[in-house]
Each structure stands twice: as structure tokens, then as C-alpha cells.
């Protein structure tokens, strides 16, 4: 099973045969606060807070993603983890939504896209996508992976008034040449009113790293 998983992970990364040059690591981008907007940055968490809704979004690393999956499912399993000593294959964001209004909120991950400055548009990756990737590699998705579903925002969900929703939005890593990207989340109330959330990230200037 281990060798099969590693094979699929190699396919996910588009890596070549053994000995080939590994793919470059994904760029390190940070929250972009250079432009005004309704969102505020609390530490590394983007927050939209109104009388009707609160939305928090934060980039998490592999360890934090595994910890969240364990908290939700009780499993120490991470289908999105990269092989040891290799760069990450996915970008993962922890999203928390609180409906503080009187109308239900409709969340659909199809309306949660990542757009880069290179005009690359990425949509969230779910277990259905992983299933297809495994099949492309001639393998079956491990049964235990299917139990991770509750932690991943893959299906459309309704957030009733006074309720909350938390989960992971997972994207493929962006191109190494990416300089900036934006994550848009669009929610819809049952009265037709839209709630828009847009978090921007950018490659930090060299002087921010002291170089």
C-alpha cells in the first residue's frame, strides 16, 4: 500500500522517473494588506466580521491540517500529505463560517476559487478528485481516506441561522512563478443576498526577509 500511495503522489506532482529533477518548491506567499477592503488580518487569519456573518480563513501547514483532520474524525490520516522530505503538493486553508443572521447561508465549494496573477484558476480538491487521481494511477483510494470527508469542504452545505461550519479548502499548489493570488468565497442567503469574501496573498519583497 505504501508504494502504491507514493506512486500516486508522484503522479499528482507530475514528477518523472527516478533520478529526475524534482519539481520546484511552491512559492511562499503572505497575506497582502496593501489594498483596503472589508477584511481584517488577525495574525495570519483573514476575517470578515459583520452583524450577519463571520468568516475566518487561515493558511495551515501539513501538521495543522493533520491536527484538524484528527480533531474532526479522530483519525491520524492525511490524504494530502507529501512524501517525506518533498515539497507540499497542496495548499490548505482552514475556513470557519458563523451565520449570525436570520436567513440560512448556502456554501458551495465550487464558489471558492483561487486565482493567481498568472490567470490560473484553481478549485478546491476533494476526495472525489483524489479518487479519480488514484484510478488514473491504476489504484484504489484507501478506504480509510474516505472517512476524512467530514473535515474537507467538498460538498455544498447549508449553514442555518445561529450555526457554524468549519472545514478545509484544499487546492493544488500554485505555479512556482506565481507572485500573487486571491481566494474568493461566495455565500448565498436563502433571500438571494450574496456574501463575498476575498483574501489576497502576495510574494513578500526581499527586504521583508532581510535580504
Q: Give me the tens of pLDDT residue by residue for the chain, a chain 211 residues long.
A: 333 343 344 444 443 334 445 567 788 899 999 988 999 999 999 999 999 999 999 999 999 999 999 999 999 999 998 877 788 889 999 999 999 999 999 999 999 999 999 999 999 998 888 878 777 877 777 788 888 999 999 999 999 999 999 999 999 999 999 999 999 999 999 888 899 999 999 998 776 544 4
| Domain membership flag for residue 112 | yes
Which residue, among 209, 168, 147, 164, has the nearest Cα to 60 in the 3D structure? 168
Grid cell digits, residue 178: 506565481
Residue carrying C-alpha cell 511552491? 26
Is residue 147 domain-resident? no
* Residue 13 maps to a domain: no
* Domain residue limits at 38: 31-129+153-204
> Smallest Cα–Cα separation from 108: which of 4, 17, 195?
195
d(CA 135, CA 13): 15
- Residue 120 placed within a domain: yes
145 belongs to a structural domain: no
Residue 37 sits in a domain whose CATH number is 2.60.40.3340
Q: Which CA distances in Å does 49 have to 39, 70, 100, 106, 200?
A: 8, 28, 10, 17, 17
Distance CA 91, CA 87 (A): 11
- How far apart CA 186 and CA 154 sit, in angstroms, is 14
* Domain assignment of residue 175, yes or no: yes
74: cell is 479522530
70 within a domain of the structure (yes/no): yes
pLDDT of residue 211: 40
Asked, for residue 94, whether it belongs to a domain, the answer is yes
Domain count, the chain: 1
Q: State residue 208's pLDDT score.
A: 58
Amino acid at each position: 500500500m505504501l508504494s502504491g500511495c507514493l506512486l500516486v503522489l508522484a503522479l499528482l506532482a507530475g514528477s518523472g522517473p527516478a533520478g529526475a529533477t524534482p519539481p520546484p518548491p511552491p512559492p511562499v506567499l503572505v497575506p497582502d494588506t496593501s489594498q483596503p477592503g472589508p477584511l481584517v488580518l488577525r495574525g495570519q487569519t483573514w476575517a470578515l466580521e459583520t452583524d450577519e456573518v463571520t468568516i475566518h480563513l487561515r493558511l495551515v501547514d501539513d501538521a495543522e491540517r493533520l491536527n484538524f483532520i484528527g480533531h474532526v474524525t479522530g483519525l491520524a490520516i492525511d490524504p494530502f500529505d507529501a512524501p517525506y522530505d518533498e515539497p507540499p503538493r497542496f495548499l490548505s486553508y482552514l475556513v470557519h463560517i458563523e451565520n449570525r443572521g436570520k436567513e440560512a447561508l448556502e456554501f458551495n465549494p465550487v464558489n471558492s476559487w483561487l486565482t493567481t496573477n498568472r490567470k490560473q484558476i484553481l478549485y478546491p480538491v476533494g476526495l472525489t478528485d483524489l479518487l479519480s487521481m488514484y484510478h488514473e494511477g491504476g489504484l484504489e483510494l484507501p478506504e480509510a481516506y474516505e472517512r476524512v470527508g467530514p473535515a474537507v469542504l467538498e460538498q455544498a452545505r447549508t449553514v442555518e441561522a445561529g450555526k457554524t461550519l468549519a472545514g478545509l479548502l484544499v487546492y493544488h499548489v500554485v505555479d512556482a512563478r506565481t507572485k500573487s493570488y486571491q481566494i474568493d468565497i461566495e455565500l448565498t442567503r436563502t433571500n438571494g443576498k450574496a456574501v463575498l469574501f476575498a483574501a489576497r496573498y502576495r510574494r513578500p519583497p526581499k527586504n521583508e526577509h532581510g535580504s
